[in-house]
Structure 1
Amino acid sequence: MKRDDRKAGRSVASRQAGAKSRSQKGNPALADLLREARKNKDLSLQDVADATGLSVGLISQIERGLTTPSMRSLRQIADAVEVSVSSLFARTDAEDAGEGRHITRKDMRRVLNLESIGMHMEIMTPTEGTPIQAFVAYLLPGGMSGTEFDSHIGHEFGIIIDGQLELFLGPQRYLLNPGDTFSFNSETPHRYVNSGTTMTYIHWVITPPIY
């Protein structure tokens, strides 16, 4: 792991830890986008709850920025309001349309902060035109994908750069350390958590893209 990436990771972790110590608020920008998308489709909170199986209360909290969804819940809500998950990632004004199809500069990565579950993601591949998607994930101690198992079409591969990851694939549990890699069919029920005491930093690849 390069020094600047380590520094960036520590900066992300410290910002998230500070935010978490002050409150359990979610991501206001994400909340606004989800609420706007729902209203654009003329859907009620109950409509989204019925489509996702999530409670009206949880969806309301997410839309008010009081909490952030798990990775699975985020995809379910995005599907219900008919937007792509990638459209919910914060974008930078630094993006150059001329090279954006092939090159993603470090300061051009799309980012998503999910403070309530202790996770920060940065997409390293272009928005469109690629059959694979690569991203980095930072997990605070106790950070996770969510408490529920997820499954979807695709295949995933990753390498643990720093920290520790507890990966659950169906009934199997794996404890991964720096340098360990994983690969699995995304239709296998899966979830993961940083069960260590320091930030976990992961390079992740998934096909087809889902974020």
Structure 2
Amino acid sequence: MLLGKKLKEIAEIAGCSESLLSKLENGHANPSVRMLHRIAMALEINVASLFEDDGSTTGLVTRAEDRPLIDTEPSRGGHGVRMQRLIPYADGHLLQGNIHIVEPGGESAGYLEHVGEEIGYVIEGEIELTVGDEVVQLRAGDSFNFRSERPHKYRNPGSSVAHIVWVNTPPTF
């Protein structure tokens, strides 16, 4: 039991089977980002806490060589996307900043919707960002902002790797 909830109740809230939760817990399956969000909501926690750092790099400065790199492919269901944390996750942070590294042809795993707000700045390369019904092409130097409750996804239609500084509040991944 977690938070007084039985596995069956968590599965019902998350919209999955108890079997899937067991496989995830034992490392025999990889959830999509949507499933991670649903499980986190069922557990009444933040998705980012599932990727919590060990605390060894906390402090005022995080050196480039010490930034955690998360390969999102197994957990997100998309492909060609990695995230480099600007600072390690810690409970209590109001913001979360990452550098999204998107390979040519790489894309997020479908639409996401969650509480909060997001801003981004394309450092290099290009991405196609879809927010709701709007589809915009962004290139190096462009920035964006949207409410996270709006369904959103992105992809790299270009021929070079894209790097995007992506900040959201509250921390969600």
TM-score normalised according to structure 2 size: 0.75
Partner of 1:76: 38
Partner of 1:161: 123
Q: Which stretch has the larger CA shift, 84-93 or 166-175?
A: 84-93
Kindly state the Cα deviation for residue 156 of structure 1 after the two structures are TM-superposed: 0.8
Matched, 1:133 2:96: yes
The answer (yes or no) to whether the contact 2:107–2:155 under 8 Å persists in 1 is yes
Matched, 1:109 2:71: no
TM-score normalised according to structure 1 size: 0.63
Write 1 or 2 for the structure with the bigger share of strand: 2
Matches within 5 A, 1:1-211: 42-44=6-8, 47-54=9-16, 64-65=27-28, 67-70=30-33, 72-89=34-51, 91=53, 95-96=56-57, 100-115=58-73, 116-118=77-79, 119-126=81-88, 127-147=90-110, 149-211=111-173
Letter in 2 for 1:199: V
**For 1:34-70, what per-residue CA distance to the aligned partner results, in whole angstroms no more than 9, with x for missing partners?**
xxx98xx6515xx554222357787677564554523
Measure, in 2, the Cα distance between the counterparts of 1:102 and 1:56: 41
The answer (yes or no) to whether the contact 1:90–1:112 under 8 Å persists in 2 is no
Letter in 2 for 1:114: T
**For 1:126-147, what per-residue CA distance to the aligned partner results, in whole angstroms no more than 9, with x for missing partners?**
5244322211111223322212
Measure, in 1, the Cα distance between the counterparts of 2:165 and 2:48: 18
- 1:142 counterpart SS class: strand
Q: Which runs of 5+ in 2 are unaligned?
A: none
Measure, in 1, the Cα distance between the counterparts of 2:157 and 2:15: 28
Measure, in 2, the Cα distance between the counterparts of 1:190 and 1:60: 29
The answer (yes or no) to whether the contact 2:129–2:155 under 8 Å persists in 1 is yes
Q: Which runs of 5+ in 1 are unaligned?
A: 1-36
Change (3 A) 1:92 1:165: same
Change (3 A) 1:131 1:82: closer
Write 1 or 2 for the structure with the bigger share of helix: 1
Measure, in 2, the Cα distance between the counterparts of 1:129 and 1:175: 34
Letter in 1 for 2:78: I
Change (3 A) 1:180 1:102: same
Measure, in 2, the Cα distance between the counterparts of 1:131 and 1:75: 18
Kindly state the Cα deviation for residue 124 of structure 1 after the two structures are TM-superposed: 1.2
Kindly state the Cα deviation for residue 179 of structure 1 after the two structures are TM-superposed: 1.2
The answer (yes or no) to whether the contact 2:7–2:18 under 8 Å persists in 1 is no
Q: Which stretch has the larger CA shift, 120-129 or 50-59?
A: 50-59
Change (3 A) 1:60 1:150: same
The answer (yes or no) to whether the contact 1:163–1:199 under 8 Å persists in 2 is yes
